[in-house]
Structure 1
Amino acid sequence: MLLERTTAQIGALYAEPMAEAQQRLDSLIKPPGSLGQLEEIAVRLAGITGNPRPRLGEKAIIICAGDHGVVAEGVSVAPQEITCQQIPAFLQGVAGIGVLGRLAGARLVVVDVGVAVPVDHPGVLNRKVRAGTSNIAVGPAMSREEAVRSLEVGIETARAEIERGVTLLGLGDMGIGNTTPSSAILAALGGYTPEEATGRGTLVNDQVLQRKVEVVKQALAVNRPDPSDALDVLAKVGGLEIGALAGVILGAAAGRVPVLIDGFITTAAAMLAVSLQPRCREFMLASHLSGERGHRTMLEHLGLAPMINLDMRLGEGTGAALAMHLVEAAVRVLNEMASFSEMGLSELDESMILK
């Protein structure tokens, strides 16, 4: 099975290139560690790629789209039709991710994994597993077989991009109502209460927020997802696009390509991916801290530090697109800054550096 083969292919970071990258960073004309996370990112890329002087080439953001039966419970102010209606704006370059992806020089890859209606727009990859999930408040979102298939759609998409020469992947999502299953995933895998895991999502007032909390409680009680079995969690309370995004992470890790996590939805996918194969966490970079309640909890659960905090909560991959500039900056620092010896300068003595 593709899923099993892919998880088995994911290895550890390469230690020697990381050590070489760190040694070079420490030799550059600056106090050691003074560029903070940029240095950490550069070392991580060396470990992922096996190259102590990694460079970035082609970039892509994979946006997975799907609908959710749970919208019947009144958990979203936005109508479900917006999922399908928004997709053309991505590819026309006029949505938020269209603008920021273009600025980052990243190609957008839009995948229909489970939109409720046919998506007939040029450029959209039709990988529909089924036309939306079932209502998790009354039963499972999908079958276990459909959960596996959604993951494999993501793996296949990541592999295709890597074969095209992509060196950096970002994640994006589209699916009205998808903060509710993401909250359920956080609660199930992380052991948090529905109140701790559930945020407002899009345009949600206090009344709708309380309804979302009750629906997450109900979904967990009705379905009883097994926290030790990520496939069970995905099938019972997840989403098709969330499964596909988890698959993209696994595919990227197997192909040794760094992957930028976006906001709340994609980090729910990251939790699933790590539950399926813990080693894939080392291949992820957290782009930003979402304004969505629960996102900080997700990142802390995964041990990931966000690069940006702009109180964004749009999704679509917008945070990942912005973080691509910082990943590029990290690589350029490693490759383009001069060392003390290259400049003929005296190196800083450790005793001179403030602790």
Structure 2
Amino acid sequence: MTFATLADFAATLTDLPPPDAASTAAATDRDAQLTKPPGALGRLEELAIWYAGWRGDARPRLDRPQVVIFAGNHGVVAQGISAFPAAVTAQMVANFHAGGAAINQLARQFGADLSVVALDLDRPTQDFTQGPAMTDADCAAALSAGWQAVDPLADLLVVGEMGIGNTTTAAALACALRGGDPADWVGRGTGLDDAGVARKAQVVAAGLARNPVAGDPLQALRCLGGRELAAMTGAIARARASRIPVLLDGFICTAAAAVLETARPGALDHCVAGHVSQEPGHARLLAALGQTPLLSLDLRLGEGSGAALAIGILQGAIACHSGMATFAEAGVSGA
């Protein structure tokens, strides 16, 4: 699907499919019969039932996880909000293709197919302190790129990103969507000192003043986001349309996802937070979305790395749910 306008994309959010109620009920019944005390596997039980409902299978498998990394460049980098130059984005894309990044190792470890989508790296978004970051057409094109990047045969999706300056865009977007003071949402990103963090908050405040988009999540994405954030939004929406469960990554990914939840409450029911990062805005945004992360390991890399690591948790949950014997099958006396 290709979106010509943001209105085209918004139309896809009006009829989002729910999980399969029969599969959820059957998975819940199966969980109650497995050879363990009720609730003994804790959150793993909830994860398996959640996954079963979205896959429409009471005894599911997880065989085709997909990781997609979207890369984009940001004009706001000119405001001195990153410890690294914009050229690093393209250099890291080359590293992804060469297999040398952390996400390559994690995707390989958990059997995930990895692809990288670079979005007009030679054409950064506009500096949002001077005006909207993207035109309607540019934002719609990025949403389309994300939608098209999802493998319809995947049974789990992780979306990650690469884009120098994108913790600033994520902070601006989160603040526009959820309110509060810009300082509440900014962090050190790639390693800013205290003065750099203060400068970053000022830049976010300037962007919000220049682009009064509160109350319109897709316009907030267009005016304050980046191409890679818009692509993540599109990919997560496509996963919902295809009933593909999603593990959310860090602050930038969660800000992109929050656009959907703000536009259509419940749009992220097919998502679980893979981890909570060191970016202070991430925990704040997860709480606002009602998401409890699976892992808390002080990660702040991006790339989809935290969510990719959480694939192993979900694989374990599904293996136990689908592979364990019931009391009747094992000949074990139940309670």
Aligned to 1:57, the other structure's residue is in SS state: coil
Structure 2, gaps ≥5 residues long: none
State how far apart, in whole Å, the 2-side matches of 1:220 and 1:6 are. Answer: 27
TM-score by length of 1: 0.90
Which residue matches 2:260?
Answer: 273
- Which amino acid letter does the alignment assign opposite residue 166 of structure 1? A
* Counterpart for residue 133 of structure 1: 125
Deviates more, 1:195-204 or 1:275-284: 275-284
Alignment equivalent of 1:150, drawn from 118, 142, 153? 142
Distance 1:290 1:266 in 2: 11
Tell me if 1:168 matches 2:156: yes
2:217 to 203, 210, 230: 230
Distance in 2, Cα, partners of 1:245 & 1:8: 19
8 Å Cα contact 2:65-2:112 kept in structure 1: yes
1:3 shift after superposition = 2.0
Q: Which residue does the alignment assign to 1:324?
A: 311
Structure-2-length-normalised TM-score: 0.95
Asked whether 1:212 is paired with 2:204, we answer: no
Residue aligned with 1:280, SS: coil
- Give a deviation string over 1:175-205, Cα, whole Å, max 9, x none: 0000001001111101121011111101111
2:47 is the counterpart of 1:41 = yes
Provide, for residues 75-133 of structure 1, a one-character-per-residue CA deviation record: whole Å limited to 9, x for no partner: 00101000000112112211111111111111211011231x2xxxxxxxxxxxxx111
Alpha-carbon offset, residue 5 of structure 1: 5.2
Q: Is the 8 A contact 1:6 1:251 kept in 2?
A: no
Deviations 1:239-286 (A, max 9, x none): 110000000000000011111111011001110122233333111121
**Counterpart among 157, 182, 185 of residue 197 in structure 1:** 185
Distance 1:302 1:325 in 2: 23
Q: Give the % identical residues.
A: 41
Do the aligned residues in 2 keep the contact of 1:14 with 1:48 (CA within 8 Å)? yes
Which residue does the alignment assign to 1:29?
35
When residues 4 and 211 of structure 1 are mapped into structure 2, their CA distance, relative to the original with a 3 A threshold, is: closer
In 2, Cα distance between the equivalents of 1:8 and 1:271?
Answer: 16
How far is 1:56 from its partner? 1.2
- The answer on 1:81 being equivalent to 2:73 is no
Distance across 2 between alignment mates of 1:249 and 1:70: 25
* Aligned residue number for residue 93 of structure 1: 99
Task: Please name the residue that 1:13 is paired with.
Answer: 19
CA RMSD of aligned residues (A): 1.3
Q: Please, which runs of 5 or more residues in structure 1 have no aligned partner?
A: 118-130, 349-355
CA contact (8 A) 2:159 2:232 kept: yes
**Separation in 1, partners of 2:46, 2:31:** 10
Contact kept? 1:147, 1:231, Cα under 8 Å: no
Distance 1:172 1:59 in 2: 14
User: Secondary structure of the residue that 2:105 maps to in structure 1?
Assistant: helix
